[in-house]
C-alpha cells in the first residue's frame, strides 16, 4: 500500500488510517463531526497527496482535450480551470476532474486517486502526434485547505503569493501549485508541492490554526453540497445528464466529444433515471451507501443509495440515489430501508446546505 | 483508558455490573466508545426481550459505521435507556454512567465467570 509523504505526521496526530485507492490515508483524527465543523466554521486541511496530476501539452492540445472531455475547454483563458468529465463511448463517466489551462498548449489535470491508472490508459490510447502526456502523480504531494478563514490564513502565511481567482491556477516562483477549488463548498484552495515541501506546508498551516481533517469529514462535507463521488454517485453506467451535471456538458461546442451521441439522445428523449437528493424526514439511523430506497409505503423498491451519511451540519440523514424521473421530483415522499425497518424520507432540491 | 474495577467485560467490549443480578446494568467500555468516536444513533431493544449471551441485541452507529452490541449475559431486558434515542452523547461522554444501555435480569449468573475482570480486560485492550 502507498504511503503519503505526510504519513508520519498523521501517526503523530493520532489519525485513524485506512486503505483508500491503494493508499493508507487518514479517515479521521479528532472525530468526523468536529473536523466537519472546523471546515464549515473556520479552517481545515486535508491530505490529498493520493490524487492524480497530469500535464498535457502540444500544439493542438485544446482541440484534443475538447474531443475527450464534456465541458468546453475553449472557455478557459490562461490561469483558469473548470470542472469536467471524461466519458466512455456509451456516455458513462470514467472520471470527473478539474482541468486547468496554464497556456494555450499546456494543461494541468487533477484526477481522482482511484482512477489514475484508468485515466492514463484512456488518454494514452487517444494520443496523437504532437500531444505529450505526462503522469506527474508521483511527483506531487497535495493539501486541500478549506474553510471561511482559508484566504485570511494564506495571506498571513504567504502575503507575497496571491491566491488565484475562483477555479484558477497559479504556480509560485518556488514551484508550488495553487488551485482555487475544493470539494467542501467552502472557500479554499488545493496546494500541490514536492513530497519534501508538502510536509512543511502542512506544519505551517496547523501552526496557523488549521485543523487536520480526514477523508471521513471530506465525505460528509461534499455530500451536504451534493458534490458527486466517483464510483459511488458517478460510474460508467450513468451519464452526466442522469447525474444532474448538464451544466458541465457542452453539447454545442465545436468538437464532438466521446460519449456525445448518447447524451444528445438523452437530451432529445429525456433520461430514464436521475440522481436525486434525499433527506430523512425524522430521526433515523444514518442512511448509507447501498441502503434500499423505497416508496412511501415502504413496500416497493425504487433504487438504492449511492451515497449516504448523517449530515453533521443539519443533524439529519442525507443521501443520493438514481430514481425514475417521476420519483425524483423534490417533495416526493420516500422511505429508506435500514436493517428490518423503513424510515420516512423525501426528495429535496440540491444542495442540502 | 477507564476500566472500573467492579465491572465485568466481554471480549467485544460490553461491560456488565454483576452486583444486582435482577437488574444488571450493561453498557460499552471506554475503549469501545473511543474506537467508535462520535455516536450519532443508538438502536436499543424493547423491554421484555430475552437475549442469549453473545447475541447481538443493539446497534450503535457512528458517522462511518454501524456496530452490533452483544449481550454479555443471557436474560430478559427489564429496562432500556430511552434517553439515548434522542441524545446518544452520554455513550461517549459517560460510558459507565449516563451512557448505560440496558438492564438485564440475568438468567444464569455462572455466565459472568467467563467474562474478563478489570485486570484481564485491561490486558485485552492494551
User: What is the pLDDT at residue A235?
Assistant: 98
Q: Say if A2-49+138-224 and A272-348 have the same CATH topology.
A: no
Give the chain B residue whose CA is nearest to the CA of A340. Answer: B43
Contact list, B61 vs chain A (CB under 8 Å): 285-286
A309 within 8 A of A288, measured Cβ to Cβ: yes
A326 within 8 A of A199, measured Cβ to Cβ: no
User: What is the pLDDT at residue B20?
Assistant: 85
Section B86-104 average pLDDT: 96
Q: Is residue B106 scored above 90 in pLDDT? A: yes
Give the chain B residue whose CA is nearest to the CA of A219. Answer: B64
> Between A and B, how many residue pairs show a Cβ–Cβ distance under 8 A?
38
Find where cell 466508545 sits.
Answer: B33
Residue A52 CA to residue A75 CA, distance in Å, equals 23
Q: Is residue B22 scored above 90 in pLDDT? A: no
Contact list, B43 vs chain A (CB under 8 Å): 285, 339
Domain spanning A272-348: CATH 3.40.50.410: no
The pLDDT tens digits for A259-272 are 999 999 999 999 99
Contact list, B62 vs chain A (CB under 8 Å): 32
Distance from CA of A240 to the nearest CA of B (A): 27
pLDDT-based confidence at residue A61 (cuts at 50, 70, 90): very high
The pLDDT tens digits for A279-290 are 999 999 999 999
The pLDDT tens digits for A180-195 are 999 999 999 999 999 9
Percent of chain B residues topping a pLDDT of 90: 92
CB pair distance less than 8 Å for B37 and A339: no
| Eight-class DSSP state of A147 | S
Do you find a cis peptide bond into A274, omega within 30 degrees of 0? Answer: no
Residue A113 CA to residue A126 CA, distance in Å, equals 21
Q: Does B79 touch chain A (CB under 8 A)?
A: no
Percent of chain A residues topping a pLDDT of 90: 99
Distance from CA of B64 to the nearest CA of A (A): 7
Section A56-68 average pLDDT: 97
Distance from CA of B103 to the nearest CA of A (A): 23
Q: Does B85 touch chain A (CB under 8 A)?
A: yes
CA A179 vs. chain centroid, Å, equals 14
User: What is the pLDDT at residue B1?
Assistant: 79
The pLDDT tens digits for A67-100 are 999 999 999 999 999 999 999 999 999 999 999 9
What topology is assigned to A2-49+138-224 in CATH? Gyrase A; domain 2 (3.30.1360)
Query: Which residues does A66 contact at the CB level (< 8 Å), separation at least 6?
Result: A72, A73, A74, A253, A254, A255, A257
Residue A39 CA to residue A188 CA, distance in Å, equals 10
Contact list, A33 vs chain B (CB under 8 Å): 38, 40, 63
User: What is the pLDDT at residue B21?
Assistant: 80
Q: Does A220 touch chain B (CB under 8 A)?
A: yes
Residue A183 CA to residue A17 CA, distance in Å, equals 20
DSSP bridge pairs for A319:
A278, A308
Q: Does B34 touch chain A (CB under 8 A)?
A: no
Distance from CA of B107 to the nearest CA of A (A): 28
Q: Is residue A163 scored above 90 in pLDDT? A: yes
The pLDDT tens digits for A297-338 are 999 999 999 999 999 999 999 999 999 999 999 999 999 999
CB pair distance less than 8 Å for B63 and A288: no
Section A164-172 average pLDDT: 96
User: What is the pLDDT at residue A189?
Assistant: 98
Average pLDDT, chain A: 97
Residue A176 CA to residue A192 CA, distance in Å, equals 6
Section A20-49 average pLDDT: 97
CB pair distance less than 8 Å for B40 and A310: yes
Phi then psi for residue A199, to 5 deg, are -65, -40
Q: Is residue B19 scored above 90 in pLDDT? A: no
Q: Which domains does chain B have, with CATH numbers?
A: 8-107 (2.40.50.100)
Domain ranges of chain A: 2-49+138-224, 272-348
Distance from CA of A198 to the nearest CA of B (A): 28
Give the chain A residue whose CA is nearest to the CA of B67. Answer: A285
A112 within 8 A of A95, measured Cβ to Cβ: yes
A62 within 8 A of A104, measured Cβ to Cβ: yes
What would the DSSP string read from start to end of B81-117?
Answer: -THHHH--HHHHH-TTTTT--EEEEES-GGGGGGSB-
A93 within 8 A of A86, measured Cβ to Cβ: yes
Contact list, B85 vs chain A (CB under 8 Å): 283
CB pair distance less than 8 Å for A285 and B41: yes
Burial of A286 (0-12, 13-18, 19+ CB in 10 A): buried
Contact list, B41 vs chain A (CB under 8 Å): 284-286, 310
CA A57 vs. chain centroid, Å, equals 24
pLDDT-based confidence at residue A206 (cuts at 50, 70, 90): very high
User: What is the pLDDT at residue B87?
Assistant: 94
| Eight-class DSSP state of A137 | G
Residue among A32, A284, A339 minimizing CB distance to B38 = A32
Section B40-49 average pLDDT: 96
CB pair distance less than 8 Å for B63 and A309: yes
CB pair distance less than 8 Å for B37 and A31: yes
Q: Is residue B59 scored above 90 in pLDDT? A: yes
Percent of chain A residues topping a pLDDT of 70: 100
User: What is the pLDDT at residue A334?
Assistant: 98
Q: Is residue A227 scored above 90 in pLDDT? A: yes
Task: Give the Å distances, CA to CA, from A325 to A270, A329, A347, B22.
Answer: 9, 7, 11, 56
CB pair distance less than 8 Å for B41 and A32: no
Query: Which residues does B14 contact at the CB level (< 8 Å), separation at least 6?
Result: B26, B27, B28, B29, B32, B69, B70, B71, B72
User: What is the pLDDT at residue A1?
Assistant: 92
Q: Does A285 touch chain B (CB under 8 A)?
A: yes
Task: Give the Å distances, CA to CA, from A115 to A77, A83, B8, B109.
Answer: 27, 16, 48, 56
Amino acid at each position: 500500500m502507498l504511503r503519503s509523504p505526510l504519513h508520519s505526521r498523521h501517526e503523530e496526530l493520532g489519525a485513524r488510517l485506512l486503505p483508500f485507492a491503494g493508499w493508507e490515508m487518514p479517515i479521521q483524527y479528532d472525530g468526523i463531526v468536529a473536523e466537519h465543523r472546523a471546515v464549515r466554521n473556520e479552517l481545515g486541511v486535508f491530505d490529498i497527496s493520493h490524487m492524480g496530476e497530469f500535464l498535457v501539452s502540444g500544439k493542438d492540445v485544446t482541440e484534443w482535450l475538447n474531443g475527450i472531455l464534456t465541458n468546453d475547454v475553449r472557455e478557459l483563458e490562461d490561469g483558469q480551470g473548470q470542472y469536467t468529465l471524461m466519458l466512455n463511448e456509451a456516455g458513462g463517466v470514467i472520471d470527473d476532474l478539474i482541468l486547468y489551462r496554464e497556456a494555450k498548449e499546456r494543461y494541468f489535470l487533477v484526477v481522482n486517486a482511484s482512477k489514475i491508472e484508468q485515466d492514463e490508459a484512456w488518454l494514452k490510447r487517444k494520443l496523437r502526434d504532437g500531444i505529450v502526456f505526462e503522469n506527474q502523480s508521483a511527483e506531487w504531494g497535495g493539501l486541500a485547505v478549506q474553510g471561511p478563514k482559508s484566504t485570511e490564513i494564506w495571506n498571513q502565511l504567504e502575503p507575497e503569493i496571491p491566491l488565484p481567482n475562483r477555479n484558477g491556477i497559479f504556480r509560485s516562483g518556488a514551484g508550488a501549485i495553487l488551485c482555487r477549488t475544493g470539494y467542501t463548498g467552502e472557500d479554499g484552495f488545493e496546494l500541490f508541492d514536492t513530497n519534501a515541501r508538502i510536509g512543511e506546508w502542512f506544519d505551517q498551516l496547523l501552526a496557523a490554526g488549521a485543523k487536520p481533517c480526514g477523508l471521513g469529514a471530506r465525505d460528509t462535507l461534499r455530500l451536504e453540497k451534493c458534490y458527486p463521488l466517483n464510483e459511488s454517485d458517478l460510474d460508467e453506467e450513468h451519464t452526466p445528464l442522469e447525474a444532474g451535471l448538464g451544466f458541465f456538458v457542452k453539447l454545442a461546442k465545436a468538437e464532438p466529444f466521446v460519449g456525445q451521441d448518447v447524451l444528445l439522445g438523452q437530451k432529445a428523449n429525456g433520461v430514464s433515471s436521475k440522481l436525486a437528493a434525499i433527506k430523512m424526514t425524522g430521526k433515523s439511523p444514518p442512511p448509507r451507501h447501498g441502503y434500499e430506497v423505497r416508496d412511501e409505503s415502504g413496500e416497493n423498491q425504487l433504487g438504492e443509495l449511492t451515497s449516504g451519511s448523517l449530515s453533521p451540519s443539519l443533524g439529519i440523514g442525507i443521501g443520493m440515489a438514481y430514481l425514475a424521473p417521476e420519483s425524483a421530483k423534490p417533495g416526493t415522499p420516500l422511505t429508506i430501508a435500514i436493517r428490518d425497518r423503513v424510515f420516512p424520507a423525501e426528495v429535496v432540491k440540491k444542495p442540502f446546505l | 483508558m477507564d476500566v472500573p474495577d467492579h465491572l465485568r467485560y466481554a471480549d467485544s467490549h460490553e461491560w456488565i455490573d454483576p452486583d444486582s443480578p435482577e437488574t444488571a446494568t450493561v453498557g460499552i467500555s471506554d475503549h469501545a466508545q473511543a474506537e467508535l468516536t462520535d455516536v450519532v444513533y443508538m438502536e436499543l431493544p424493547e423491554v421484555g426481550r430475552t437475549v442469549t449471551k453473545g447475541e447481538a441485541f443493539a446497534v450503535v452507529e457512528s458517522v462511518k459505521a454501524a456496530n452490533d452490541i452483544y449481550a454479555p449475559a443471557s436474560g430478559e431486558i427489564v429496562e432500556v435507556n430511552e434517553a439515548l434515542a434522542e441524545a446518544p452523547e452520554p455513550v461517549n461522554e459517560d460510558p459507565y454512567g449516563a451512557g448505560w444501555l440496558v438492564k438485564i435480569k440475568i438468567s444464569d449468573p455462572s455466565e459472568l465467570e467467563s467474562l474478563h475482570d478489570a485486570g484481564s480486560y485491561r490486558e485485552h485492550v492494551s
